[in-house]
Structure formats: structure tokens, C-alpha cells
């Protein structure tokens, strides 16, 4: 009898953890309660995607409604992103969300990107906000709330022409769509799996990934960044086991690594196509611009019920990157790769975000 009770308790607990995603909107409501516009704008900016959910941004707010955005290099992924390309792309996504949130709350924005090379202060952009007479557009904020990365297998149905054309139209000179059933699409899937497998078994990359793993509820709620079981799509009984019986170091074990490789194989084999963002100009300001493109792409995909999953391992493993670049984008630099495909439903985001006070100084 005791065994049956324990099993029932275990199942109920697991269901509670699985349902936590539905609490996301309540958390946002509580966070926004009694906050001023500047706080709200920065909060919604922080819902942007970032590599390893590292959230590598800082901000300074001045009384005249000016915001300075900085790159937080203490959150640089030194092993997989030593040049900081993905870090600055993440900051670009933050800036895009900030712009959308400000517009939604009735502000015009003037954004000046620091186009110099990496500078000692790591200042990325200065943003001036001016209140306009337009009505607030709360629907834009809802779009930011719903943006998420999906790591589940997608439908293999071809992406409709009108849908992928809408995505590419964001920046036609930089964004390309490649159908999954095309020769190039199959080539990317193969190379993505190869790159992931190489990186998954690289000790330095394993150590870095483990440092961003947040398995226990205590770590998830106290650090509010990094990669969580929910963020990896580990739910139900499996999610319960990971939260309560595994440590970040366990992510380096053969069984965990192999499980990740197997899951990646299912992912690359189950999608409708690939989004590639490439560039001729390759500097900090362009990486910021790519981050803004990526964020808009992800938001548009949500509205089209298209799952969106960045998979930049193909860029992070040098030999494979050169092979892919030469075949897919000769003469250009590929700076972002995402797997996309239709999904039956778009789940609520589950990744935690740090409090605005943790990355902002109010002058």
C-alpha cells in the first residue's frame, strides 16, 4: 500500500512540474504590477533569446528617458563562442525586444549602435525614448511573452510559400530559407548532427555547458538563467528525476551525452526547413543587427504556428562551418542557423529571466 501511495505522489508531483509552463503569464503579471514604463520596457527586453540562456546584457537608465545597453562579457561562452559573435547577437535580440516594448507602451525610439570594434566599456547602443500620442498596443507585448525556442520534433510538411516568403522579407539580403527535403536541406541536417556530436563529446564544451545547467528547482529559481529541464523539453517523470536526482556535472556522463545526440538526430530529421542568416560585413554592429533579425524571425514564427529552434553548433565547429559556408553561402559569413517547422500548438515559454534590477543600474 505504501508503495502505491509513493508512486501516486510521485506522479502527481511530476504533473505539477509539467504544468509550470502555464504559470508564465501569472509570473509576468506579478512582475509588472506597479512598475513604471522604463522597468516594463527592460523586462520585456529581457525576454529575448540568448545562447545557453546566458542573458549577456546590462543596462543603465537615465532620468531623461535614455538607456545605455552594454554587453556583459562575464557571460561570454569562451569555448563555443570565443569571439563573442553569439553574445552580441543575443544583445541585438535584447535591443529588438526593447524597441518593440517601447513602441507598444507609446514611445518612439532613437537607437544608435556603437559600430566600433569591441571597446573597453562594452557599450553596444544608446537609446533615446520619446513619449508619443499613440495608444498603447498591448498585443505587441503579448507577442514578446509568447516568443520561445522549441526543441521538440516539428512537422515535416513543407513550409508554405507565403509563410517562408514572409520570414525572408524581414531582410531579404541576409535571410535565406532552405526546405528540409532539398539537397541543401539534407546537407545542413547531416552537418548539424555532426557538429553537435563533435561538440557534445568535447571536454571543454562539456564543462562550459555544465556550468550553465540549472537542474534543481533551487538553482532554477535563484539564478534565473541558464538551461533548465523545462527549457530542454524534459518534462513529466523524466523532468522530476532530473530536478531531484541529477547534478549539472551529470550532463557530462556518457548516457546524458548520447541522449542529447539521439534527440538532436530526431530534431534535424523532423522539420520543414532551415533559416540561414548570413552577412558580408562581419563586425559587432552587424552581429547586433543579426540579433534583431533573429528576434523578429522568432516572433513571426510564433504568429504562424511555426516552431523555431536556433542550432548554431554548425557555426561553432570550425571544420564543419567552413564546409557548410563554402556550399551554402560562398563569399559570405553564416552567423545564424535555425530549424523551423509547423507545430500543433505553441506552448508557453518556460525559461526563467533575471530581475531587471540584476542587470540594470537606474541613475
**Residue 132, all three cell numbers:** 508619443
Q: How high is the pLDDT of residue 133?
A: 84
C-alpha cell at 271: 522539420
In whole angstroms, what is the distance from residue 313 CA to residue 307 CA?
Answer: 18
Q: What burial class does residue 345 get, using C-beta atoms within 10 Å of its C-beta: 0-12 exposed, 13-18 middle, 19+ buried?
A: exposed
* φ, ψ dihedrals at 358, nearest 5°: -75, -20
Helices (H), the chain: 2-18, 24-32, 37-45, 85-104, 138-146, 161-168, 183-200, 203-211, 217-223, 236-245, 254-269, 284-303, 313-316, 318-328, 356-359
> For position 28, what pLDDT does the model report?
65
Residues 81, 86, 87, 88: is their CA dihedral positive or negative?
positive
Fold of 161-342: NADH Oxidase (3.40.109)
CB 206 within 8 A of CB 250: no
The pLDDT of residue 230 is: 87
Q: Are 242 and 215 in contact (CB under 8 A)?
A: yes
Contacts 24+ apart (CB under 8 A), 203-212: 203/252, 204/79, 205/79, 205/80, 206/251, 206/252, 206/257, 207/79, 207/252, 208/77, 208/78, 208/79, 208/80, 209/52, 209/251, 210/248, 210/249, 210/251, 210/252, 211/248, 212/52, 212/53, 212/54
Which residues, given as ranges, of the chain have pLDDT below 50? 1-23
Fold agreement between 2-148 and 161-342: yes
The pLDDT value given to residue 4? 33
84: DSSP letter: -
Q: Just give the CATH number of 2-148.
A: 3.40.109
Q: Where are the domains of the chain?
A: 2-148, 161-342
Residues 168-212: tens digit of each pLDDT = 999 999 999 999 999 999 999 999 999 999 999 999 999 999 999
- Please tell me the predicted confidence (pLDDT) of residue 31: 67
b/e burial code for range 59-77 (CB count within 10 A of at least 16 → b): bebeeebebbbbbbeebbb
Pairwise CA distance, residues 24 & 22, whole Å:
6
C-alpha cell at 81: 563562442
Q: Which helix (H) or strand (E) holds 361?
A: strand 360-362
Three cell numbers, residue 172: 531579404
The separation between CA 62 and the C-alpha centre of its own chain, rounded to angstroms, equals: 28
Q: What is the DSSP string of 320-351?
A: HHHHHHHHHSTTSEEEEEEEEEE-S--PPP--
Burial class (CB in 10 A: 0-12, 13-18, 19+), 255: exposed
C-alpha cell of residue 169? 522579407
Enter the pTM of the model.
0.90
C-alpha cell of residue 127: 537609446
Amino acid at each position: 500500500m505504501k508503495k502505491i501511495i509513493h508512486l501516486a505522489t510521485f506522479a502527481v508531483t511530476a504533473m505539477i512540474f509539467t504544468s509550470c509552463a502555464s504559470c508564465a503569464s501569472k509570473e509576468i503579471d506579478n512582475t509588472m504590477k506597479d512598475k513604471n514604463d522604463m522597468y516594463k520596457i527592460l523586462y520585456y527586453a529581457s525576454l529575448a533569446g540568448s545562447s545557453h540562456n546566458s542573458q549577456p546584457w546590462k543596462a543603465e537608465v537615465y532620468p531623461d528617458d535614455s538607456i545605455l545597453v552594454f554587453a556583459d562579457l562575464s557571460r561570454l561562452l569562451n569555448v563555443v563562442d570565443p569571439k563573442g559573435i553569439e553574445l552580441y547577437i543575443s544583445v541585438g535580440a535584447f535591443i529588438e525586444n526593447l524597441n518593440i516594448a517601447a513602441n507598444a507602451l507609446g514611445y518612439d525610439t532613437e537607437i544608435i549602435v556603437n559600430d566600433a570594434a569591441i571597446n573597453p566599456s562594452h557599450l553596444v547602443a544608446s537609446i533615446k525614448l520619446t513619449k508619443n500620442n499613440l495608444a498603447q498596443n498591448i498585443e505587441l507585448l503579448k507577442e514578446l511573452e509568447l516568443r520561445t525556442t522549441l526543441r521538440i520534433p516539428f512537422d515535416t510538411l513543407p513550409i508554405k510559400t507565403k509563410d517562408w516568403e514572409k520570414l525572408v522579407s524581414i531582410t531579404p539580403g541576409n535571410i535565406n530559407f532552405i526546405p528540409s527535403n532539398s539537397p541543401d536541406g539534407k546537407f545542413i541536417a547531416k552537418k548539424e548532427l555532426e557538429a553537435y556530436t563533435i561538440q557534445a563529446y568535447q571536454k571543454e564544451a562539456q564543462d562550459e555547458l555544465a556550468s550553465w545547467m540549472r537542474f534543481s528547482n533551487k538553482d532554477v529559481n535563484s539564478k534565473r538563467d541558464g538551461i533548465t529541464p523545462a527549457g530542454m523539453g524534459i518534462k513529466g517523470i523524466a523532468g522530476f528525476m532530473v530536478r531531484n536526482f541529477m547534478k549539472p556535472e551529470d550532463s557530462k556522463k556518457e548516457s546524458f551525452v548520447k541522449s542529447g545526440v539521439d534527440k538532436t538526430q530526431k530534431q534535424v530529421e523532423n522539420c520543414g526547413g532551415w533559416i540561414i542568416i548570413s552577412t558580408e560585413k562581419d563586425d559587432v554592429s552587424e552581429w547586433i543587427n543579426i540579433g534583431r533579425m533573429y528576434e523578429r524571425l522568432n516572433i513571426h514564427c510564433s504568429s504562424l504556428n511555426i516552431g523555431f529552434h536556433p542550432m548554431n553548433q554548425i557555426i561553432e565547429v570550425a571544420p564543419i562551418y567552413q564546409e557548410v559556408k563554402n556550399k551554402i553561402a560562398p563569399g559570405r559569413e553564416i552567423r545564424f542557423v535555425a530549424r523551423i517547422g509547423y507545430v500543433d500548438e505553441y506552448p508557453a515559454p518556460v525559461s526563467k529571466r533575471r530581475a531587471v534590477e540584476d542587470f540594470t543600474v537606474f541613475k
